């Protein structure tokens, strides 16, 4: 009970992760789910704690970095097609990029809390990955090339990117925990989890998730140090080849999917053609409304007037307990172009400026940790890795679906690592953990 009480403030955040392990039921729309509702409760819980404790919520730096997206989103909401659409879009953007990240920053108190939340990401990924591998092995997954073999976990055929996102983020956390200077047991378990998550990631058939994960793991290896990067990289590559190839995962479909990455411009399939067409449509919308865009939730309304005839009617979804359905293409599947088309240059500069500032703060804090004898390298690698993965994946995907709440928590973890030293009071947790990178060696003295 004592250990549970010590982590009481972070338990609501763990509840959000746990709810993402529950099946949503076949035929779900892929929108907001129970985890999103609990994330709203988390924000309210955090606000009540701030009022009760009578303490300043955020430092000026944290308030500016996390509050910057509010400007562009608010202006775009006023230009929405209808007030209802504007309010819905405004609430979603504030939830993902402002409110939940701020709540995570304020509720996490030390590296022990941070690691607990990171391990919950890994646990969720292992569970969803196990469900996905079972779907592939038994032919009960989502339809891919006419066969029900695509691993989608509990998210169903309507959200084929859900499991890929969860598994990727869990793998990034596992790699960060394995590369840190923590206990040998933590590093071994982290490496083992990372290797276990390779097959379900492969069986998700998500090219965007593959690319983002490869870029992120490479960045984590380089940030951990050259010697460690070469050693860990060789182990991951060798074992990855054995796991993916030696255990029968190197199927013709998987090989074809991998090879398609290098020929998306020479012989693109219909999904790639649709994506290019929607990217062109988003660019056209921005060209007509360069400053403020067409308004929140405005992409579907303006899509047909800007898209060419190459755009299909929608993507076919089937399997994993759901009947056949033609799913409409309502976004460009590129976060940057979605912001540019709906919020214009003002919105893109505000959001991207916030993300870039957060990345710079996180990398700077990691660099300071590497140059000092204080622990915390694993937390820094996890935080920077999650942020790099999100910013890379945004080139191939946008927000939407139940797994989006994890995106908000990723930004919150990165914010805690890069900004917590300026917005929370250091405290000692008995393991040398302070409340942020610059407080790593000051916890005991502050008491």
Residue 266: DSSP 8-state = T
Q: With CA atoms as reference, report the closest residue to 217 among 199, 195, 200.
A: 195
Q: What is the distance between the alpha carbons of residues 39 and 405, in angstroms, rounded to a whole number?
A: 8
What is the residue-wise DSSP string for 2-15?
Answer: HHHHHTGGGHHHHH
Q: Which two tokens stand for residue 227?
A: 């010697």
Q: Which two tokens stand for residue 74?
A: 């608010």
**Confidence band for 59, pLDDT divided at 50, 70 and 90:** confident
The sign of the dihedral angle between the CA atoms of 97, 103, 105, 108 is negative
Segment 93-126, tens digit of pLDDT: 999 999 999 999 999 988 999 999 999 999 999 9
Q: What is the distance between the alpha carbons of residues 218 and 237, in angstroms, rounded to a whole number?
A: 11
Helix (H, G, I), strand (E, B) or coil at 445: helix
pLDDT above 90 (res 243): no
Q: Which two tokens stand for residue 6?
A: 């010590």
Segment 366-391, tens digit of pLDDT: 988 887 766 788 999 999 999 999 99
Mean per-residue pLDDT, 160-168: 94
Q: What is the distance between the alpha carbons of residues 369 and 80, in angstroms, rounded to a whole number?
A: 44
Question: According to the model, what pLDDT value does residue 373 have?
Answer: 65
**Confidence band for 224, pLDDT divided at 50, 70 and 90:** confident
pLDDT above 60 (res 444): no
Q: What is the distance between the alpha carbons of residues 243 and 129, in angstroms, rounded to a whole number?
A: 14
Segment 9-45, tens digit of pLDDT: 889 999 999 999 988 654 444 456 889 999 999 999 9
Most confident region among 252-261, 269-278, 312-321 by mean pLDDT: 269-278
Q: What is the distance between the alpha carbons of residues 202 and 242, in angstroms, rounded to a whole number?
A: 13
Question: According to the model, what pLDDT value does residue 428 have?
Answer: 40
Whether 361 contacts 383, CB under 8 Å? no
pLDDT above 70 (res 144): yes
Residue 441, φ and ψ in degrees, nearest 5: -100, 10
Segment 386-442, tens digit of pLDDT: 999 999 999 989 998 889 999 999 999 999 999 984 344 444 443 333 444 333 333
Q: Which residue(s) pair with 316 in the sheet?
A: 326
The conformational region for residue 128 under phi > 0 = left, psi -120 to 50 = alpha, else beta, is alpha
């Amino acid at each position: 009970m004592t250990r549970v009480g010590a982590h009481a403030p972070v338990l609501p955040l763990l509840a959000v992760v746990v709810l993402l392990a529950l099946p949503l039921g076949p035929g779900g729309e892929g929108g907001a789910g129970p985890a999103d509702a609990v994330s709203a409760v988390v924000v309210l819980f955090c606000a009540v704690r701030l009022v009760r404790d009578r303490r300043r919520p955020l430092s000026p730096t944290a308030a500016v970095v996390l509050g910057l997206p509010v400007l562009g989103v608010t202006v775009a909401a006023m230009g929405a097609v209808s007030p209802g659409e504007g309010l819905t879009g405004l609430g979603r953007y504030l939830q993902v990029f402002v409110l939940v990240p701020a709540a995570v920053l304020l509720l996490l108190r030390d590296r022990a809390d941070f690691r607990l939340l990171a391990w919950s990401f890994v646990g969720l990924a292992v569970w969803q990955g196990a469900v996905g591998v079972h779907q592939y092995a038994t032919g009960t997954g989502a339809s891919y090339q006419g066969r029900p073999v695509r691993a989608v976990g509990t998210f169903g055929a309507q959200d084929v990117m859900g499991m890929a996102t969860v598994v990727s983020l869990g793998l990034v956390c596992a790699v960060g925990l394995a590369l840190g200077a923590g206990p040998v047991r933590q590093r071994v378990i982290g490496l083992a989890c990372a290797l276990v998550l390779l097959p379900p990631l492969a069986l998700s058939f998500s090219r965007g998730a593959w690319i983002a994960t490869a870029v992120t793991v490479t960045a984590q290896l380089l940030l951990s140090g050259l010697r460690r990067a070469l050693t860990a990289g060789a182990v991951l590559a060798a074992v990855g080849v054995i796991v993916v190839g030696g255990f029968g995962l190197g199927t013709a479909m998987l090989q074809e999917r991998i090879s398609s990455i290098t020929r998306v411009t020479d012989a693109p399939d219909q999904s790639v053609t649709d994506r290019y067409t929607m990217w062109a449509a988003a660019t056209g919308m921005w060209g007509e409304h360069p400053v403020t865009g067409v308004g929140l939730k405005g992409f579907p309304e303006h899509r047909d007037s800007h898209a060419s005839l190459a755009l299909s009617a929608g993507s076919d979804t089937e399997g994993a307990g759901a009947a056949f359905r033609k799913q409409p293409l309502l976004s460009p599947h590129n976060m940057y172009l979605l912001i540019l088309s709906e919020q214009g240059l003002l919105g893109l500069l505000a959001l991207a400026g916030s993300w870039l500032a957060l990345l710079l703060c996180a990398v700077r804090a990691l660099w300071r940790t590497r140059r000092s004898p204080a622990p915390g390298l694993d937390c820094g690698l996890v935080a920077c890795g999650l942020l790099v993965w999100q910013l890379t994946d945004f080139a191939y995907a946008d927000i939407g679906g139940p797994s989006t709440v994890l995106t908000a928590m990723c930004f919150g973890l990165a914010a805690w690592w890069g900004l917590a030293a300026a917005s929370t009071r250091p405290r000692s947790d008995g393991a040398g953990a302070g409340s942020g990178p610059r407080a790593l060696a000051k916890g005991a003295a502050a008491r």
